[in-house]
A and B are shown apart, each in its own frame.
Chain A
Amino acid sequence: MDFTFSEDQLLFQDSVRGFLVNEISPERLRAGWETDTGRDPALWQQFAELGLTGITVPEEHGGLGMDAVDFVLLAQECGYVALAEPLVNHALVAVPLLQDIGGELAARWLPLAATGEARIIAAVEQNLMVEDAHVADLLLLEREGQWFALEQGQFSCERSESIDPGRRLYTVTVPAGAAPIADGERASALRSASLNRGALGCAAQALGLAQRMIDLSVQYTAERKQFGKAIGSFQAVKHHMANVAVRLEYAKAPVHRAAYAVAEDAAGAALAVAQAKLMACEAANLAAKNSIQVHGAMGYTWEVDLHIFMKKAWALANTWGDAGWHKQQVAAVIFADGAALGAGATFQ
């Protein structure tokens, strides 16, 4: 039993964190809200140069051949900067899905995914809208139990605005006569696996978002003075942050555990992911609530950056299965007759 990440994994996380924090300032995010696509091809190219677009692409297709355990720490860092580019979907959901699909489609697109020439996006019925469909060179879409592979230009999409100005959401219409690439049980297996990966990506980003909001709040409450003292010295203020710190710290192990289950394709992966997403998104939402409170009226302004992270956390909590849906998954396991709950099964 070993919960630690390897030195290489931690070093990769460090270097990606350094890059992201440097490149993706809140000002840059705000600027992105105003552009046509909201996405930045130059940034995507930099991801490609760092190996990130091909991180989960098998080596024979030009990627790094890494898995969900390798990527989960990087997804946290994407959350920390509220990254708008669809890297998590591409690397954690769409590329592994493409591998599962296999065949000619995979052979053609995986090398393009690795070099960053193609952005690949996956979405299942569970997602109300498809994120980043407008920049998807290849869209892998599940609708009514069938999977479709649609290239940009082969589908029409209509934008809806998200409460998170950094997100771009679309209603995608599958063209009449499009041939499904999978249906029946196979489609259902692909959907389950994609849901696990998508929810894991949300959970990992939520960890980063929560950390960012803690950092902003700790800094703000150390600087802001009332009654002649930094407000962070008051128990009523610091207890708000302590509560978040506990939730966040405790959400890490289940997220890492879920990443392992996803990487190993373990039987209990859906349960592990449900637990992880619930805990991580609760932590992020609590971070948002308490961070706004300790920022006082400043936290309610558009000018202060807090709401960027708060809204992203909120949006992620409700995508790839909302809290109610994931809780029902857990309840179904617990209340099943003969459920293995006790000794020997406590690591499920």
Chain B
Amino acid sequence: MKLSFSPEDELFREEVANWLADNLCGEFEPIRFRGGPGDEHSFVEERKAWEQKLAEGGWTCIGWPKQYGGRAASVEQQVIFNEEYARAGGPGRMGHIGETLMGPTLIAFGNAAQREHYLPGIRAGREFWCQGYSEPSAGSDLANVKTRARFDEGTGQWQISGQKVWTSLAHESQYVFVIARTDPDSSAHKGLGFFLVAMDQPGVTVRPIEQLTGTSEFNEVFFDDAVCDADDIVGAPGEGWKVAMGLLGFERGVSTLGQQMLFQNELDEIVRVAKANGAACDPALRQRIAEAHIGLRIMRFNSMRMLSGGGDDGSLQKEAMIYKLYWSSWHRNLGKLAMDVLGAESEIVPEAPYGLSRLQSMYLFTRADTIYGGTNQIQRNIIAERALGMPREPRG
């Protein structure tokens, strides 16, 4: 056990901080601290330009192996990058799905041609991805996917038909990864394929969904004989579930560190507000802020523990399953805390029409946290059955 950063790591910190100070300014000044949870719809073009700026400096995909354009950065370095990025007010990352989910999935499960074709666009901050998992009938029961993929011998392409829903930033993405049924007679997690599909084609229609925040960050995506090439399936037909679950494993890895730093910025803002408006003198609020602070530290310690391999049984599965339930509940409480710290002021919308403050957006957005990516109830089922070994619930 050794819980400190090395001198080399501290040099790396300085390098990151300097680069951000020199580059996150000027035209990028307006997007500092923007585009985080609940604010993803803001400054999209500017944030895409920022991704390319990051890429020029070699600051996208830093955890990827060098052969794919990454820096093979250690876990410590990725922690440091995320810390400094948040401290500098780095905007919500447009490229995070490609960088933290699609890229690692292609590196782990894809073939050489797929990596060559898709990784450079992600690394360069030019190509953005969205996630085609949920469907109207496949929410908590994710394996109940109805979207179909049929291989057309004539054209040599896959043809995909069906509907996806809750697809974040589909309207800003060039590609979507889709789980679709390759075997029409299959059910549940058997007979699925994992496809890489271009968004800009006649067979793909995106329709935004207005959220209770009044903004639209997610969408319905309709596939009507949309096509992709024969080689655009990751793994073999029938192996889609394995790839899809492998991808979710990356969602709970290093990518969590960036998220925690966004949380830190939110908490810092709440502390500032509490000090300014006197809420910090209210013993009840003071204790809740202390609890929130502890909760965030605990997430951080756990990520570090998980990433350094300090799990009970050597595998990270238990903690990985546990992470979603913990952070989403914590963040939902933080949203409520922010409103309670603001008090009566929390109701007043600063800008008409319905231009919510950052904390108001955050509060509303946190209501989605305990639902997307597996509801808290589903997470508890999984934890009880897989981690604790409790008897399985009968399923229909």
Residues of A within 8 A of B (CB): 1-6, 69, 214, 218, 221-222, 229-230, 232-235, 237-239, 241-243, 245-246, 249-254, 256-257, 260-261, 275, 278-279, 327-328, 330-331, 334-335, 341-344, 346-348
- A274 — nearest CB in chain B belongs to which residue? B294
- B261 — nearest CB in chain A belongs to which residue? A343
Interface residues of B in 230-278 (CB under 8 A from A): 260-261, 264-265, 267-268, 271, 275
Contact B261 A335 (CB under 8 A): no
B154 within 8 A of A: no
Query: Which 3 residue pairs spanning A and B have beta carbons closest together?
Result: A238-B384, A343-B87, A343-B83
Interface size of B by CB at 8 A reads 61
Contact A256 B1 (CB under 8 A): yes
Contact B286 A238 (CB under 8 A): no
| A1, A234, A249 — most chain B CB neighbours (10 Å) | A1
Residues in A neighbouring B265, C-beta threshold 8 A: 342
Contact A246 B1 (CB under 8 A): no
CB distance from A331 to the nearest CB of B (A): 4
Select which of A69, A242, A278 is within 8 A of B384 by beta carbon: A242
Q: Please give 14 more A-B residue pairs, beta carbons under 8 A apart, in addition to A2-B2, A233-B392.
A: A1-B3, A1-B79, A3-B1, A4-B1, A6-B1, A239-B384, A243-B380, A249-B302, A256-B305, A275-B297, A279-B294, A331-B286, A334-B293, A335-B289
Select which of A1, A238, A251, A275 is within 8 A of B385 by beta carbon: A238
Select which of A235, A261, A330, A341 is within 8 A of B377 by beta carbon: A235
Contact B380 A342 (CB under 8 A): no
B22 within 8 A of A: no
In angstroms, Cα B298 to Cα A230, docked, is: 34
In angstroms, Cα B2 to Cα A6, docked, is: 11
Contact A275 B298 (CB under 8 A): yes
Contact B388 A218 (CB under 8 A): yes
B394 within 8 A of A: yes
In angstroms, Cα B13 to Cα A346, docked, is: 14
Residues in B neighbouring A222, C-beta threshold 8 A: 390-391
CB distance from A248 to the nearest CB of B (A): 9
Contact B391 A233 (CB under 8 A): yes
B383 within 8 A of A: yes
CB distance from B351 to the nearest CB of A (A): 27
Per-position binary interface string of chain B over residues 305-347, scored 1 when its CB falls under 8 Å from any chain A CB and 0 otherwise:
1001110000000110010011000000000000000000000
Contact flag A254-B301 (CB < 8 Å), given A1-B75, A327-B287, A334-B293? yes
Residues in A neighbouring B318, C-beta threshold 8 A: 249
Contact A233 B294 (CB under 8 A): no
- A255 — nearest CB in chain B belongs to which residue? B301
B280 within 8 A of A: yes
In angstroms, Cα B384 to Cα A254, docked, is: 23
- A337 — nearest CB in chain B belongs to which residue? B275
CB distance from A162 to the nearest CB of B (A): 27
B172 within 8 A of A: no
Pull 21 A–B residue pairs with CB atoms less than 8 Å apart, ordered by A.
Answer: A3-B301, A4-B308, A4-B309, A234-B393, A246-B326, A249-B322, A250-B326, A252-B305, A253-B302, A256-B301, A256-B310, A257-B3, A275-B298, A327-B287, A327-B290, A331-B290, A334-B271, A341-B264, A341-B267, A343-B87, A346-B83
Residues in A neighbouring B2, C-beta threshold 8 A: 1-2
Contact flag A5-B298 (CB < 8 Å), given A218-B388, A342-B264? no
B86 within 8 A of A: yes
Residues of B within 8 A of A (CB): 1-5, 13, 75-76, 79, 83-84, 86-87, 260-261, 264-265, 267-268, 271, 275, 280, 286-287, 289-291, 293-294, 296-302, 304-305, 308-310, 318-319, 322, 325-326, 377, 379-381, 383-385, 387-394
Contact A347 B300 (CB under 8 A): yes
Contact flag A253-B305 (CB < 8 Å), given A233-B393, A235-B377, A344-B13? yes
Contact flag A2-B1 (CB < 8 Å), given A257-B301, A334-B271, A341-B264? yes
In angstroms, Cα B63 to Cα A287, docked, is: 38
In angstroms, Cα B302 to Cα A331, docked, is: 21
Residues in A neighbouring B287, C-beta threshold 8 A: 327, 331
Residues in A neighbouring B298, C-beta threshold 8 A: 250-251, 253-254, 275, 279
Residues in B neighbouring A245, C-beta threshold 8 A: 322, 383-384, 387-388
Contact B271 A2 (CB under 8 A): no
Contact B310 A344 (CB under 8 A): no
Select which of A6, A246, A335, A341 is within 8 A of B322 by beta carbon: A246
Contact B297 A348 (CB under 8 A): yes
Contact B290 A242 (CB under 8 A): no
Residues in A neighbouring B260, C-beta threshold 8 A: 346
CB distance from A71 to the nearest CB of B (A): 12
Contact B302 A334 (CB under 8 A): no
Contact flag A335-B383 (CB < 8 Å), given A2-B3, A214-B388, A343-B86? no
In angstroms, Cα B341 to Cα A335, docked, is: 14
In angstroms, Cα B388 to Cα A221, docked, is: 12
Residues in A neighbouring B75, C-beta threshold 8 A: 1
- A69 — nearest CB in chain B belongs to which residue? B1
Contact B304 A242 (CB under 8 A): no
In angstroms, Cα B387 to Cα A346, docked, is: 29
Contact B264 A346 (CB under 8 A): yes
In angstroms, Cα B302 to Cα A3, docked, is: 9
In angstroms, Cα B384 to Cα A277, docked, is: 25
Residues in A neighbouring B83, C-beta threshold 8 A: 342-344, 346
Contact A235 B380 (CB under 8 A): yes
Select which of A1, A235, A251, A256 is within 8 A of B4 by beta carbon: A1
CB distance from B275 to the nearest CB of A (A): 7
Residues in A neighbouring B389, C-beta threshold 8 A: 218
In angstroms, Cα B306 to Cα A17, docked, is: 23
In angstroms, Cα B297 to Cα A251, docked, is: 11
Residues in A neighbouring B387, C-beta threshold 8 A: 242, 245
- A252 — nearest CB in chain B belongs to which residue? B305
Contact B308 A2 (CB under 8 A): yes
- A232 — nearest CB in chain B belongs to which residue? B390
CB distance from B77 to the nearest CB of A (A): 10
In angstroms, Cα B294 to Cα A342, docked, is: 13
- B324 — nearest CB in chain A belongs to which residue? A246
- A261 — nearest CB in chain B belongs to which residue? B3
In angstroms, Cα B80 to Cα A227, docked, is: 54
Contact A330 B293 (CB under 8 A): yes
Contact flag A1-B275 (CB < 8 Å), given A245-B388, A344-B87? no
Residues in B neighbouring A334, C-beta threshold 8 A: 271, 289-290, 293
CB distance from B396 to the nearest CB of A (A): 14
In angstroms, Cα B2 to Cα A222, docked, is: 40
In angstroms, Cα B318 to Cα A214, docked, is: 15
- A218 — nearest CB in chain B belongs to which residue? B388
CB distance from B55 to the nearest CB of A (A): 22
Contact B310 A221 (CB under 8 A): no
